[in-house]
Each structure stands twice: as structure tokens, then as C-alpha cells.
Amino acid sequence: MTATTIRIGELAEEVGVDPPTIRYYESIGVLPEPERTPSGYRAYTPEDIERVRFVTLARSLGLHLDDIRQILALRDRGEAPCRFVRDVLDRQVDAVEERICQLQELATELRRLRAKARRLPDMASEDPCVCHILQSSKHHKNRSRKER
């Protein structure tokens, strides 16, 4: 191993991921298969470190590995990935905004159930109802309707 290469454990520590994640990135083509030392250890380069850092950053922004793979493939071919990245960011913003709406609706329903739960007495019954508080939720009613 030369002075400019590091082993998988060192790469993992440097970028803050575990070695199985690095091996997974190799298996799906996000990280190229590294050269091996004569004893069989993986030998990573400074370029590999930056690539894994990029993948980690993109994942922290919620990008999917397929999108990351395409960004890297464009870059590896010498093409600017900017147009593709803008499209990915547009989709990501839309997905996050949709999820925020869903979470706001869930928070409203949970507050409604919490208020109802404070007014209702504790009760056990012989019917198959497990918890009358939760089973009175809109989510339960919507799921029951879908299951029919």
C-alpha cells in the first residue's frame, strides 16, 4: 500500500460511515472497486474519500442512491451534472413539502386524540376493541375502509 492509500477502516473513520456501508457502495457502483494490496486489503485513494464524502452529503439531503449514482456517472463521463441535480432537487423539495403536509395532518389528528383521551374514562370491554381512544381516530377509520 502506498502512502496515498488507506484501508477501509481508516476510510470509514475519516468519513463517518461504517465499513459495510462502504462495501455496499462498491457493490451498487457508487464507489468503484478499489485496488487491493498484495495481502488483499482494499486500498482507497483520496478521490475515494471525497466520493464517499459526497455520497454522505447527498444522502443527508435525502437524495436516493439511484440519483447519486447518476450524478456520479455524469461527473465520471466529464459531464456537468448540474441540470440533473436541479431536477433531483425539485423532486426532493416536492417530496419534503408533501411529507410536511402529511406530518401536519398527523399532528392535528394526534392533538385531537390526546384531547379526547383526556376526557374519556379508562374502560375495558368484552368487544374486540383493543383501545377505544386509538380506534376512534380518522386513521383507523380510513384504514378499515380501505381493507374492506
> What CATH number did the domain enclosing 54 receive?
1.10.1660.10
CB atoms within 10 A of CB 80: 9
Find the domain containing 101 and state its range. Answer: 89-147
> Is position 100 within any domain?
yes
Q: How many domains does the chain have?
A: 2
In the block, cell 440533473 appears at 84
**Contacts of 28 by beta carbon, 8 Å cutoff, 6+ apart:** 65, 69
At 93-132, the pLDDT tens digits run 999 999 999 999 999 999 999 998 888 777 766 667 777 7
Q: What pLDDT is attached to residue 14?
A: 92
Does residue 125 share a domain with residue 66? no
> Is position 139 within any domain?
yes
Strands (E) located in the chain: 35-36, 42-43
Rounded to whole angstroms, the Cα distance separating 139 from 137 reads 5
Rounded to whole angstroms, the Cα distance separating 34 from 37 reads 10
pTM for this predicted structure = 0.75
> Is position 2 within any domain?
no
> Is position 3 within any domain?
no
Does residue 94 share a domain with residue 74? no
